A = this chain, B = another copy of it.
Amino acid sequence: MTDTPLHLLTATAALARLRAGTLTVEAYAQALLHRIAQRDDAVRAWAYLDPEYVLEQARALDGVPADKRGPLHGLPIGVKDVIYTKDMPTQHNSPIYKGSFPKVDSASIMILRHAGALIFGKTATTEFAATTVGPKTRNPHSATVDRTPGGSSSGSGAAVGDAQVPLALATQTGGSTIRPASFNGIYALKPTWGAVSREGQKVYSLLLDTLGWYAREVADLALLADVLGVRDDEPSPGPTFRGLSGARFALCQSPVWSQAGPGTRAALSRAAAILRAHGATIDELTLPPSFAAVPEWHRVLLHTDGRATFLPEHRVAKGDLHGSLAVYVDTPGFSRREQLAAQDGIAALRPKFDELAASYDAVLTPSVVDEAPEGLGWTGEAAFCSALHVPVVNIPGFQGENGMPIGVSLVAPRFHDRRLLKVAEAVGRVFEAEGGWTRRLL
């Protein structure tokens, strides 16, 4: 019997071995560091990584008595470099914050560290998680041509996609968590807005920013959801999911379907066919005309919130702020009246979407325009993002014209995150088995 290489273990599998005492935190960390050493030239996922410090922390964790160990004891987690870590710099891929080292943990890191997680290093991001200009990171699934891993959570997506860590933290304001998940062939959860504290994570838009995370299986997403306190009402107000047979899905092309490329169109239609073949019904969900304004309102919020958010950096070092962000301050672009119309308009649609989605096990919708484009400079179109505060899971399993992974999104009403994860587990199993794309990691 050939044992799975340690770096390919899912978080759940690794935890089982760590708990059983058949794997030490140090040995696991060593295996991941070895993987990174082999692959870093090709992938370049990390903004900050100190192998010596990782091993020192790992040995300290190995020294914790069994009865003092937390639920994530020894589990390595990559952290997007817009999230504060008290023991590592946080630089936002901005020259203004080069070497910046706020000696405080974000809310999420406080919780994860207390649960015993091994905070591994900081992953590459676009500037302030707010531009579409890619960092140096390469998509691990494209060996020959340079392709983007997506953004803004570029390094977290690539690191999990390449089996350099089992889990990584991301953030989303437009499509920053879901897009890299699709491009890197991994699972992502963007939970309901407000389910997890965003304290200590760089602000772009208070009404849109959400912490998310990546893994290579749904059970691993659920692990973090448990520890980070993501809870639905109990009993769940949605339909009880009893497997794909008899389940009801809605297919929602979203207001920006016209931009979807052939890969995404094929993935959605194959996804629907697979679910139907497993006994589920798929309804077409056409959103009422009032939803047509959401993409434009989302754009207004990015601009108007960016105006307040990036004012400090604009004042202090305008020349070091990317032009696509400086413009929010230089050219306000939208009036206060338009800003409020966007805020209020989206707010009024949130309960309406919840109601439309409430009777389904999940709503199926595109994750991205298409597979990862060539080049590292542009992290992809953010068209299919969501201002509706609903939980989203990216499910991999499909591929585009160049064999690059494409995922589809499952969506549920706000605070139906745990129910959505249950559905995603069953859906992920069949999409990965029958969707046509297979993760090839050595």
Q: Using CB atoms and an 8 Å cutoff, list the residues of chain A in contact with chain B.
A: 84, 100-105, 107-108, 110-111, 114-115, 194-199, 202-203, 206, 228-229, 231-233, 237, 305, 307-309, 311-313, 315-316, 332, 335-337, 339-340, 343-344, 347-348, 350-351, 354, 414-415
CB <8 Å contact, B312 and A111: yes
> Which residue of chain B lies nearest to A415 when distances are taken between CB atoms in the complex?
B336
CB <8 Å contact, B315 and A114: yes
CB <8 Å contact, B233 and A206: no
CB <8 Å contact, A203 and B194: no
Known contacts A340-B354, A344-B347: A199-B309 contact under CB 8 Å: yes
Q: Which of B196, B335, B337 contacts A308 (CB 8 A)?
A: B196
CB <8 Å contact, A344 and B336: no
Taking the closest CB of chain B, its distance from the CB of A81, in whole angstroms, is 14
* Chain B residues whose CB sits within 8 angstroms of the CB of A313 once the complex forms: 110
Known contacts A203-B199, A232-B336, A336-B415: A312-B107 contact under CB 8 Å: yes
CB <8 Å contact, B197 and A308: yes
Complex A-B: 21 CB contacts under 8 Å? A101-B103, A102-B102, A107-B312, A111-B311, A114-B312, A114-B315, A197-B308, A198-B206, A199-B203, A199-B309, A199-B312, A206-B206, A229-B311, A232-B336, A233-B337, A340-B351, A340-B354, A344-B347, A344-B351, A347-B348, A348-B348
CB <8 Å contact, A110 and B206: no
CB <8 Å contact, A312 and B102: no
* Chain B residues whose CB sits within 8 angstroms of the CB of A414 once the complex forms: 336, 340
Question: Would you list the 8 A-B pairs with minimal beta carbon distance, nearest first?
Answer: A110-B312, A347-B347, A336-B415, A102-B104, A102-B102, A199-B203, A107-B312, A233-B336
Q: Give the complex CA separation of A337 and B413 in angstroms.
A: 11
Q: Give the complex CA separation of A335 and B103 in angstroms.
A: 35
* Chain B residues whose CB sits within 8 angstroms of the CB of A228 once the complex forms: 311
CB <8 Å contact, B308 and A195: yes
* Chain B residues whose CB sits within 8 angstroms of the CB of A203 once the complex forms: 107, 197-199
Q: Which of B197, B202, B233 contacts A312 (CB 8 A)?
A: B197
CB <8 Å contact, A335 and B104: no
Interface contacts beyond A107-B203, A336-B414: sample of 16 additional A-B pairs, CB < 8 Å, sorted by A = A105-B312, A107-B309, A107-B311, A110-B315, A110-B316, A114-B312, A196-B308, A199-B202, A206-B206, A229-B308, A231-B336, A233-B335, A233-B336, A336-B415, A340-B351, A347-B347
* Chain B residues whose CB sits within 8 angstroms of the CB of A232 once the complex forms: 336
Taking the closest CB of chain B, its distance from the CB of A20, in whole angstroms, is 25
Taking the closest CB of chain B, its distance from the CB of A99, in whole angstroms, is 10
Q: Give the complex CA separation of A119 and B344 in angstroms.
A: 36
CB <8 Å contact, B351 and A111: no
> Which residue of chain B lies nearest to A97 when distances are taken between CB atoms in the complex?
B104
Q: Give the complex CA separation of A340 and B350 in angstroms.
A: 10
CB <8 Å contact, A305 and B194: yes
Q: Give the complex CA separation of A415 and B341 in angstroms.
A: 12
CB <8 Å contact, A337 and B199: no
Q: Give the complex CA separation of A64 and B322 in angstroms.
A: 29
> Which residue of chain B lies nearest to A206 when distances are taken between CB atoms in the complex?
B206
Known contacts A206-B194, A206-B206: A111-B315 contact under CB 8 Å: yes
* Chain B residues whose CB sits within 8 angstroms of the CB of A229 once the complex forms: 307-308, 311
Q: Give the complex CA separation of A56 and B442 in angstroms.
A: 59
Q: Give the complex CA separation of A347 and B352 in angstroms.
A: 14
> Which residue of chain B lies nearest to A229 when distances are taken between CB atoms in the complex?
B311
CB <8 Å contact, B339 and A415: yes
* Chain B residues whose CB sits within 8 angstroms of the CB of A110 once the complex forms: 312-313, 315-316
Q: Give the complex CA separation of A438 and B337 in angstroms.
A: 39
CB <8 Å contact, B344 and A350: yes
* Chain B residues whose CB sits within 8 angstroms of the CB of A343 once the complex forms: 194
Q: Give the complex CA separation of A337 and B234 in angstroms.
A: 11
* Chain B residues whose CB sits within 8 angstroms of the CB of A198 once the complex forms: 203, 206
Q: Give the complex CA separation of A340 and B57 in angstroms.
A: 40
CB <8 Å contact, A311 and B104: no
Q: Give the complex CA separation of A111 and B84 in angstroms.
A: 21
